[in-house]
Structure 1
């Protein structure tokens, strides 16, 4: 039951949220083999592998930054979409009765934008906390509107994903810069090793 309604709520919260999560996950998975390339490059002192690591890491870092910025850009549109979807749900109360009850219990809210949504109708049981016995009346019901409750949760998740992507970008730029420093350091080390005279022990 929870999975069914959670799928419906995902439609309210906006599919873009899932797209951004997928992009971030794919980029994180790519980081593992790329890190193996870096380890191999350092152990073999291979400039080619280190260059490959730096380039791929910079590309993934830029993609994560774009995903993070896109999260902040998309949020206002997702908010507008949520508003329309919630309004649609409450305008068709009879068809979406179970879903409305689920949302109100899950987010501890009542009505789409206020208690006045229900008008002269009797408030559903889901509008009141489980501890309330007897009929659900306005002075015992949740004071938060469902749109506001869902908006707060969505905003929090969008911000978390956005800032995680930005932090990952900063970390990967530092890693790429360190890789470039290693690349620049490999050649001088090799030159010093070649130019260093070998010491022969007398027989």
Structure 2
């Protein structure tokens, strides 16, 4: 015959449960639960968030300063880091990726709310120290998130930085010579050997 398990709680579990505040008690009635969910602020998770939600960007990496302080974040191979900002006044951000002489293989995505299709960019550079990648991503109309996924192997980390202030903009000459490139087409741009 099977013996019934004791209904007596484990003493360590009872001690842990007694440390919970009353609002989190397991014995609280269901009616005491809030009717709707509330979003937890980024500061609760230890991420850097702008105080006035200005043109700063907050990193999802805990304990690290955001790009507003000009610090790069190390993204290990196979991992994802996100930078979120809530201000609609941020019209564009600059994404800078580099490595210490190793290959750089990454996906960059722009997430604009639940109803928009992500914009995705694939980046591959053979030597991320000799040729760091830099791009300006337009972020119109409200809160946005930039996601950078290092799709390289774990041996190939990359340094990522996303900034919303002092973004490099193309020259007037560059804007005058822009052209549409149709899907499936290839356009090459020759450079003089003296160009760095």
Q: TM-score, normalised by structure 1?
A: 0.20
The structure with more strand, counted as a fraction of residues:
2
| Greater relative CO (CA pairs within 8 A, separation 6+) | 1
More helix by share: 1
